[in-house]
Amino acid sequence: AAHTAKDSVLSRVLNWVWRGWPVGSVEPEFGPYKSRQNELSISKGCVLWGNRVVVPDKLRTRVLESLHEGHPGMVHTKALARGYVWWPGLDKEIEEWVRGCPKCQQVRPDPPQATPQGWESSGKPWARLHIDFAGPLQGQMFLIVVDAMSKWLEVVHMKSTTSLAVIHALRRLFATHGLPDVIVSDNGPQFVSEEFRLFLTSNGIRQMTSAPFHPASNGQAERMVRTAKEALGKMRRLTTRLNRMHPDLS
């Protein structure tokens, strides 16, 4: 409310919402507000568009930081903003903000170097699983397990990354979902050890340690593995600051 009263544009918009809008054209900076004049209201000295707070210019950088605090990506950041705030050009500013975020750029996938060869359909759920490790992320390791057909994702927190630890984690998943026919993994030492091979053989599970024709061709299931890694790599504790922006809740 204090910044709204000092803002050269919003202070006049606030006055017009209270006292009535001028007839005829207005300066260009007021155009986006006049086109929404019937949808604007005032609450505790703040301008609202519907239920969204219209943010004064000096606070917009802080709001962008809050919106992108969990690094949710461009589309999700825009969706989050639509539930809380608005100002003219908000979507464009979010796009520029996300493109300039070093952490988001670091986890962007590399462009494909060759046309990938897709996997044949697994035919039924939980028949072919893709497994991989994500981490260390904030000192923690996670086992990523994706069902190739349903795209069902399991993320298991791992205290250890040995073959025995992987076997224990998979046993718990198999007890819930059943035994798969095939497990696809990289050539990490946990996945190519004799102990792990014997575990799969004893359960009648076939192992594949590379994708057909190209190492990057793990199809959509492998994309799900990467998606889980990206989400875990950018994960931070979310706060309620966005909720507290609304004047009726502060």
pLDDT tens per residue across span 51-74 = 899 999 999 999 998 888 877 778
**Token pair of 30 as six digits:** 């007021």
In a shared domain, residues 100 and 176: no
In a shared domain, residues 188 and 229: yes
* CATH code (residue 21): 1.10.340.70
Domain boundary among 70, 105, 140: 105
pLDDT the model gives residue 110: 59
In a shared domain, residues 132 and 40: no
In a shared domain, residues 230 and 133: yes
Please give the DSSP secondary-structure letter assigned to residue 226. H
* Enclosing domain of residue 156: 128-234
Reported confidence tier of residue 21, pLDDT bands at 50, 70, 90: very high
Q: How many domains does the chain have?
A: 2
What angle (nearest 5°) sits at the alpha carbon of residue 201, between those of residues 198 and 207? 100
Long-range contacts of 148-156 (CB under 8 A, 24+ apart): 148/119, 148/122, 148/184, 148/219, 148/221, 149/121, 149/122, 149/123, 149/124, 149/125, 150/125, 150/126, 151/220, 151/221, 151/224, 152/125, 152/126, 153/224, 153/228, 155/228, 155/232
pLDDT the model gives residue 213: 47
3-state secondary structure (DSSP) of residue 187: coil
In a shared domain, residues 97 and 147: no
The answer to whether residue 153 sits within a structural domain is yes
pLDDT tens per residue across span 208-245 = 876 544 445 445 545 666 676 666 655 544 445 666 77
